[in-house]
Amino acid sequence: MRKESVVDERKWRFVMTISLLWGSCFIGHFAAAQMDPIDPPAPPLVTTIEWLEWYDELLESRIDAVSFPRDETRFVSSSLGDDQNDGLTPESAWASVEAAREWIESANPENQTREVLFRRGDVWRTRSIIDTEQPGVRFADFGDSAEPAPYFTGFTGVAEINDMSWTQLGDEPVFWRHVPGHVSWVREDGDADLDAPLAKQYSAHALSKVAGSWWWDSATSRLLIHPREEDDPRQNGKTYEWAFSNEAGFSVGGDLSLVENLRADGFGLDPVVTAPQREAFQSTAKDDEQVVFRNCTAYYGGSHVIAHNASGNTGGIATFFQCVAGFTKRNGSGETVFNTFAGNGGNQTIFHECTVARGTLPEGFDTGRRSDPVFGHTLGGAKLGLTIVYGLRVIGHPHGAMRTGRFNNTQPAASLEEVRCFIVGSKVEGGDGTGDRLTPLFQEGTAYVNCSYSLKPHNLGSNARLQSNSVDGWWINSTLDLDLSNQTYSNFDLYRTSENDNKARCWNSAITLRNVPPGVTVRLDGGGAQDSPNATFFNTAFSKLGSEGEFSVNLPNAISNICGNAYWQVEKPTSDSSGVELSAPPDFSARLASDSPLGAAGKALPGGLVLEFDQTQSLRFHDPPTIGPLEVATVGADLNQDGVVNGSDLAVVLASWGSDQSAADLNADGIVNGADLALLLAAWSP
């Protein structure tokens, strides 16, 4: 395939008749991808079945665009290959990354598309892999599928098992060896370090205090370690590896490029606190160029681990499909496991069923959980393009990520129809240190749908809040389970900003508080009811488990703001005449029974919208469903308060048809219409 034909490929690929089979990631049977992956049609409402169908087709189109046979193939095997071979077959494979890099960047007068296949089960230790802008490249695996994925590691220094080169430091359980060159990071016993990473220290004294730590002394060029089990590295049967400052792993920017089924650890590391932007797997595509990373795994990175980075350019279309990543190194501006960035905006990115396995690498005496699992941003006044985080899992772990997925520089959305940033089906597992003031539920221009967040923030003091940025987003058919046992300050807010027009929209969802300490009040809006004149909390369950603390629904006490919610140990606002006062605490940890008062009932949302799907209808999420729309109590439909819902009440609705008459506006969407009639008929007295 010639370079000029890559563009032609796009035209006929949109109408291909062969569907790719990608296992269980799709439901149902799909026709061929018809959608333009570069300029797709506007998404349908995210509360509809059509949105799911639209998303499936978009995802398939983007993967299909990069899935075609390459013109030339070379094979690489570190265990069986030789750089003197021709690399044309598995039996005549090259051995080194350098050989593959040289070939990819070599003269290509015929503009052939190229791929390099690495043998499964093999390992390459290298400070850099391949950085290329060649279009249509593919990097993938070959060999026995039972073997581990090809493994690339930036940990190029190795002390083998029971290496006698270590010297004990006095009587301390600390050992050292000479290592010239500034060390960026150290790990103990291979992948065991993923569960208990060595912490970086800054002096021998600090090192001696922390089992499971390391320090590189620049004055003596000594690498010192304090083993995790305080044992002797000369006889404990463990390996020790260290990385120096290094480059990116697989960095691809050419249009229609594909990287799949590979693992790369320890790239982009730097010995100082910087943001080097050298990820293990990195898209540098710009404008309308497309890149896909599929089934790739990476740990131990710089500012990010897997990312799209269009730098000072515009756009780039990157898709990350079922990738796993964790462990970023601290820097001065924040750490992110998955990231998308284009300085001039317009970056279109999908993170599909990706897993954030760990958070930030520990330094000093701090072993806390940090980093954003996913972050999207631009510079200045530029805006993100279409951005979708679908089926993300953030694993609960003592070294897991602290926050939830978030974006900066989103496109404003006055209505749900205008949203272009979506987080759908995301699960954040709880644990100490998860959740802080950069943990948004109602981020501007963003719709969170079918999400499940379990958070336990550390003691946040006077900054006790989940969100401090502007609030203008949607939390739909989702659950927040918030354990506040660590808090000591008098107030904890779901959001508190300097804005006076917060637009938090919480529909068909659940907010559960646990272990609220005595004297602590949880407020929805920390700025006061006057700051949220356009907030809407509809069909949402508010519950406080435990007798201590308070939960204040700190919103305007009006039916246009609060309607049809359920309450457990939370005072029901007087305006919520259709609200449900529960007789027992709700449990959203398992699938709800069909006769539950909190079961999916298909009730109308504000603006007459209807939630057409939830997790009971789609099993493509990581866990069972938690909540559907609430069944609104029937008292609100008895408009003349005579104890029955009958023709007299129907007459009131019909007389108010098309108006904003509040008494007959049963769903408080600002107009009396068919949605209100449906509520009245559903409550009709026998």
Residue 64's pLDDT is: 96
Number of H helices, E strands in the chain: 6, 46
Last residue of a domain, one of 150, 176, 210: 150
d(C-alpha 307, C-alpha 329), whole Å:
15
Q: How confident is the model at residue 632 (pLDDT cuts 50, 70, 90)?
A: very low
Question: CA separation (Å) from 395 to 358, 367, 451?
Answer: 7, 16, 14
d(C-alpha 321, C-alpha 350), whole Å:
8
Sign of CA dihedral 559, 560, 561, 562: positive
- From 505, 602, 478, select the one nearest 562 (Cα to Cα): 505
- From 8, 2, 251, select the one nearest 113 (Cα to Cα): 2
Query: Are the beta carbons of 345 and 384 closer than 8 angstroms?
Result: yes
Tokens of 435: 């959740």
Query: Are the beta carbons of 440 and 426 closer than 8 angstroms?
Result: no
Question: CA separation (Å) from 108 to 13, 105, 112?
Answer: 24, 8, 7
Tell me: pLDDT of 476 over 80: yes
Q: Is residue 629 in a domain? A: no
Same domain, 200 and 346: no
Q: Is residue 628 in a domain? A: no
d(C-alpha 248, C-alpha 459), whole Å:
37
Same domain, 375 and 498: yes
Last residue of a domain, one of 134, 150, 166: 150
Q: Is residue 23 in a domain? A: no
Question: CA separation (Å) from 588 to 456, 511, 544, 591, 592?
Answer: 17, 10, 13, 7, 7
CATH code of the domain covering residue 658:
1.10.1330.10
Q: What is the rounded average pLDDT of the residues 247-253? A: 96
Last residue of a domain, one of 212, 244, 276: 244
Tokens of 28: 């149902």
d(C-alpha 655, C-alpha 661), whole Å:
10
Q: What pLDDT digit, counting tens, does each position of 530-551 carry?
A: 999 999 998 888 999 999 999 9
- From 117, 109, 114, select the one nearest 137 (Cα to Cα): 114
Q: What is the greatest pairwise CA distance in the chain?
A: 93
Query: Are the beta carbons of 584 and 567 closer than 8 angstroms?
Result: no
Q: Is residue 445 in a domain? A: yes
Q: List the single range of 9-23, 353-367, 416-430, 443-457 with lowest mean pLDDT.
A: 9-23
3-state secondary structure (DSSP) of residue 64: helix
Query: Partners of 512 in the beta sheet?
Result: 481, 543
Residue 331's pLDDT is: 80
Residue 2's pLDDT is: 39
Same domain, 563 and 668: no
Query: Are the beta carbons of 588 and 451 closer than 8 angstroms?
Result: no
Q: Is residue 295 in a domain? A: yes
Query: Are the beta carbons of 645 and 679 closer than 8 angstroms?
Result: no
Same domain, 517 and 540: yes
- From 481, 482, 416, 469, select the one nearest 442 (Cα to Cα): 469
Q: What is the mean pLDDT of the chain?
A: 87
Residue type for position 324:
V
Same domain, 279 and 311: yes
Same domain, 644 and 573: no
Q: What is the rounded average pLDDT of the residues 82-106? A: 98
**DSSP codes joined into one string, 25-36:** GS-S--PPP-S-
Q: Is residue 15 in a domain? A: no
Q: Which domain holds residue 406?
A: 255-608
Q: How confident is the model at residue 620 (pLDDT cuts 50, 70, 90)?
A: very low
d(C-alpha 619, C-alpha 469), whole Å:
33
Same domain, 215 and 235: yes
Indicate the number of domains in the chain: 4
Same domain, 231 and 263: no
Residue 162, classified by CB atoms within 10 Å of its CB into exposed (0-12), middle (13-18) or buried (19+), is: middle
- From 43, 64, 63, select the one nearest 53 (Cα to Cα): 43
Q: What pLDDT digit, counting tens, does each position of 235-249 carry?
A: 999 999 999 999 999
Same domain, 140 and 174: no
Same domain, 513 and 447: yes
Same domain, 362 and 476: yes
CATH code of the domain covering residue 560:
2.160.20
Q: Is residue 615 in a domain? A: no
Residue 159's pLDDT is: 96
Tokens of 32: 């061929």
Q: How confident is the model at residue 34 (pLDDT cuts 50, 70, 90)?
A: confident
CATH code of the domain covering residue 144:
3.30.1910
Tokens of 499: 């804005």
Q: Is residue 64 in a domain? A: no
Same domain, 267 and 329: yes
Tell me: pLDDT of 88 over 60: yes
Q: What's the Rg (C-alpha) of the chain?
A: 28
Q: What is the pTM of this model?
A: 0.87
3-state secondary structure (DSSP) of residue 523: strand
Q: What pLDDT digit, counting tens, does each position of 395-423 carry?
A: 999 999 998 999 999 999 999 999 999 99
The two beta strands, 72-76 and 130-132, are unpaired
- From 679, 607, 606, select the one nearest 636 (Cα to Cα): 679
Higher per-residue confidence, 670 vs 571: 571
d(C-alpha 222, C-alpha 176), whole Å:
6
